[in-house]
Structure 1
Amino acid sequence: MTVTERLRAVLPGSSEPADAGEPGTPTAPGGEAVGAGWQRAGVVGLLTGLASVLVVVGPVVLAWLVEPVGAGTPGQAVGTGAALWLLTSGAHVAVGGVTVSLVPLAGLALLVLVAWLGAREAMVDVSTDGEYWWGLLPTPLAAALGAWWAGYAGAVVGAVALTFAGPVRVGPLSLVVPSVLVPLAALALALRPVALDDPDVLGPRLSLARVPDTIRRGVRPGLAGAGVLLAAGLVAVVAAVALAWGEVSTISEGVAAAGLGGVVLALAQVASLPNLALWAVSFLAGPGFRVVDGGDVTWSGAEGGLLPMVPVLAALPRPGAFPWFVALGGLVVVGVGAHAARRALSEVARLSRLRTKLAVAFWACVTTALVIAGLDVLAGGSVGQFRLADVGAPAGRLFLALLAELCLGALVVVVRDAWRLRR
């Protein structure tokens, strides 16, 4: 059976039998549809990567054509666009001695979405039968997805080659993210509906049965908790920008952000909103964040410092000490821990042992803290040199603070649940 047939068989209202092939699709002697093969998947992977590159390079070249800056050439514009695509995909870039590693998470999510669409297309009419390749996936499916991955990696190599036409260079070690992590995330999203339809598609080495039950049951509530935390941080950022809109507009005019340049600047700030949401989450949790060296913002207050001319940074609080009740922002994180614990308890039987419930709730909190801290590590922390060499939230301290506060909220929910059962 192919991937397409498996998904079609579970579509609501589908009257087509699960083993029917597409009209004109060649079939094997037993009637099974023959997959399109790894060659097609490799071509789809290359086209997926090129389409993803075009998402970033296209606007950059358009901006250069409309408002050319200096004596740059079209080749330099393309090279700069390719470098920006690699940065958005998670790589670190450098111009001269200045390293930029602050990855816009919204842009990264868009590129993962493009890659997911391509990976899903590469799986069309690929057989899910046969022996497992290294215990991971059926051999035909593994060959197709491997070819897709190779094609996508070829586009990454092409983008790196294009950067030599411009002034920006890419850190070799950081290419692991665009060439491995991004396609891996896309493949995981593409395989998810197939695995839900038939868990046997995943080989023994990928089977969730290898994961302890308490950890597996805590993953989904933990991911939901991370989503709630990011949403809370995003709300805080949007509210701060709205309250300081006058200052934001003034700085935007001061950097001459008009016409297409203003659109590009606005898009760059929107793409970085999840990064700012992470900063807000770190502030709520206690560790705070750093905009420039000597410009930390924590529960105790905001330190002064000369800020970059980025309009959205005008929403930062004025330097000075904060009142005591600002520390109550930690209760937001505690509440998210309670929310994750409630969802975790719904994953286990009502009369399960207290130890089991505590373990599932704990792993939900660990998942939430790991996702937030992992995103902070992935987003990077440098937008320049000297005072801009380390900005953002401290990932290590953020993880520990989140875990402690989340577990506090989870403990309250689990203990309350146990008390209600004993009544």
Structure 2
Amino acid sequence: MAAVRTGLLAAVATWAIVVLPALVGWIAAPESSLGWFTAVSVGSALWFVGHGQTVVGDGVAVSVTPVLLLLLDVYVTARFARRLFATQREVLPASRVDRTLARVLVPGFVGGYVVAAAVIAVLALGGPVGPGLLAVAGAALVPLAAVGALLLRPDDDDAPGFVRAWFRRGPTWLPAVWRIGWRGAGVLLLLGAAVVVARVVLTVGSVVSMQADYRVNLVGAAVLVAGQLLMLGNAATWALGFVAGPGFSLAAGSVVSPVAADPGLNPAVPLLAALPEQAAYPPLLLAVVLLPVLVGALLGRWVDAALEFFGNTRARFAAVATAAALAVVVVLALTALANGALGVERLAAVGVPLAPFVPALLAEVVGGACLWVGLALLRERRAERDAAAATDGRGDADDDDDADDDVDGADDDRDD
């Protein structure tokens, strides 16, 4: 029961993250004719959207997951799960911890979370949009991700024994590569976020002007800004689509890529004022695809610094390629959640086209990591040749000195 109760509390905590701002926004707009329960219902629907689920109402579907909200929910849920697991480890015999964790604690925690999701779904039905039955079960994405983040750690003493055993059955370099791959995913997302921030800074006048057009009070403006900040993670994945080459679209028929920009007609969201105007770009801008290559090279450097392969070139390439591929897979999973629908017709498909994006980003990051290893091998072999040449040179010089000494000795003998 402790696991179920903790799962319920975790769901309530993540629900409060979106419902409280919704209520604040309702209080800040006294002229609104909507009641407080509608604000709760809208916040409850947003809770499902933040869990990677689709909500529908009046023929309008919303399936774009706010990535930062999703990650925040996973973090909060992981804190509850960590406390649950730590408490149970203190009272259970060591021989029963792994079995209880796998058969009782994790299922109970996830089950309690899903039960809370069912209650939240009922609350969402009072608003303009609501989740379906599949969304209730799909909300388990967050507790499963939180539990996975806690338990899938190869070197953590708190990880179950079967997890550590699984990592030990793989290559010796797998634990280090696992950590580096997740770190690389963070670097890729930071790269996308940096591109977004740079673009917003360059167009801050247009963004502020559109924000002012809403004519809301200070609290309403704060809620509006917070809502846009939650979409920064989505914008980061879309920016990665740009730097990888395929680009992204925010409306049907639109595209923003290093080749050209045609943003089309978009909603009046201040952040979208940072989108470029319609234009064709010079071929030189395609150099942005080198940025993911550099991230791959950075991952290769980290793997080389963390591990010693003792001349095993095949294992070295396999390790850096695995780290790079893991980073790309994590980013692609978040990108798939960041894509989706924000409405109908023009807004029915928002985000990065995955079909060209997957091979492009994978080739660039893995290629950069392997390129780093190739250059490192060339440097190492050149250093070995230089060292061997220097050794041979010293050996020849020593032989010449010995020969001169022998000649001098023979001359001395003749003089005697």
TM-score if structure 1 supplies the norm length?
Answer: 0.83
Correspondence for 1:219 among 178, 181, 188: 178
* 1:15-414 → structure 2 map (5 Å cutoff): 39-68=1-30, 70-127=32-89, 129=93, 137-139=98-100, 142-179=103-140, 181-191=141-151, 196-197=156-157, 201-203=160-162, 207-213=166-172, 216-414=175-373
Contact 1:195–1:202, Cα closer than 8 Å, also in 2: no
After superposition, the Cα gap between the structure-2 partners of 1:140 and 1:169, relative to the gap in structure 1 and judged at 3 Å, is closer
Residue deviations 1:124-177 (CA, integer Å, cap 9, x gap)? 3313546669xxx32267423332222222211111111122221214434444
Matched residue type, 2:224: L
Q: Distance in 2 between matches of 1:150 and 1:312?
A: 38
Matched residue type, 1:252: Q
Cα offset, 1:66, TM superposition = 3.1
Contact 1:241–1:312, Cα closer than 8 Å, also in 2: yes
Q: How many residue pairs are counted as aligned between the two chains?
A: 380
Residue deviations 1:313-359 (CA, integer Å, cap 9, x gap)? 11111111012221110111110010111112234324231111111
SS at structure 1 position matched to 2:162? coil
Q: Distance in 2 between matches of 1:62 and 1:114?
A: 21
Residue deviations 1:59-112 (CA, integer Å, cap 9, x gap)? 212322331565323322221111111111221112211111111111111111
Q: Distance in 1 between matches of 2:353 and 2:173?
A: 29
Cα offset, 1:191, TM superposition = 3.6
Cα offset, 1:273, TM superposition = 0.5
Partner of 1:20: none
After superposition, the Cα gap between the structure-2 partners of 1:229 and 1:74, relative to the gap in structure 1 and judged at 3 Å, is same
After superposition, the Cα gap between the structure-2 partners of 1:161 and 1:212, relative to the gap in structure 1 and judged at 3 Å, is farther
Q: Distance in 2 between matches of 1:211 and 1:351?
A: 18
After superposition, the Cα gap between the structure-2 partners of 1:218 and 1:121, relative to the gap in structure 1 and judged at 3 Å, is closer
Cα offset, 1:409, TM superposition = 1.4
Q: Distance in 2 between matches of 1:287 and 1:215?
A: 31
Contact 1:214–1:363, Cα closer than 8 Å, also in 2: no
Contact 2:299–2:369, Cα closer than 8 Å, also in 1: yes
Cα offset, 1:193, TM superposition = 7.4
Contact 1:237–1:280, Cα closer than 8 Å, also in 2: yes
Write 1 or 2 for the structure with the bigger share of helix.
2
Q: Distance in 1 between matches of 2:189 and 2:102?
A: 35
Q: Mark the runs of 5 or more structure 2 residues left unpaired by the alignment.
A: 385-416
1:418 aligns with 2:382: no
Cα offset, 1:411, TM superposition = 2.2
Partner of 1:7: none
- Which stretch shows the higher mean deviation, 157-166 or 209-218? 209-218
Q: Distance in 1 between matches of 2:83 and 2:35?
A: 36
Matched residue type, 2:55: V
Cα offset, 1:398, TM superposition = 1.4
Residue deviations 1:23-66 (CA, integer Å, cap 9, x gap)? xxxxxxxxxxxxxxxx2232222122112111111221232233
- Which stretch shows the higher mean deviation, 121-130 or 209-218? 209-218
Q: Distance in 1 between matches of 2:143 and 2:361?
A: 29
Contact 2:74–2:145, Cα closer than 8 Å, also in 1: yes
Q: Mark the runs of 5 or more structure 1 residues left unpaired by the alignment.
A: 1-38
Larger gyration radius, structure 1 or structure 2 = 2
After superposition, the Cα gap between the structure-2 partners of 1:405 and 1:195, relative to the gap in structure 1 and judged at 3 Å, is closer
Matched residue type, 1:147: G
Cα offset, 1:249, TM superposition = 1.1
Identity %: 34
SS at structure 1 position matched to 2:87? coil
SS at structure 1 position matched to 2:156? helix
Q: Distance in 2 between matches of 1:47 and 1:315?
A: 39
Q: Distance in 2 between matches of 1:66 and 1:257?
A: 9
RMSD: 2.3
Residue deviations 1:206-234 (CA, integer Å, cap 9, x gap)? 73234455655433222222211111111
SS at structure 2 position matched to 1:94? strand
Contact 1:304–1:319, Cα closer than 8 Å, also in 2: yes
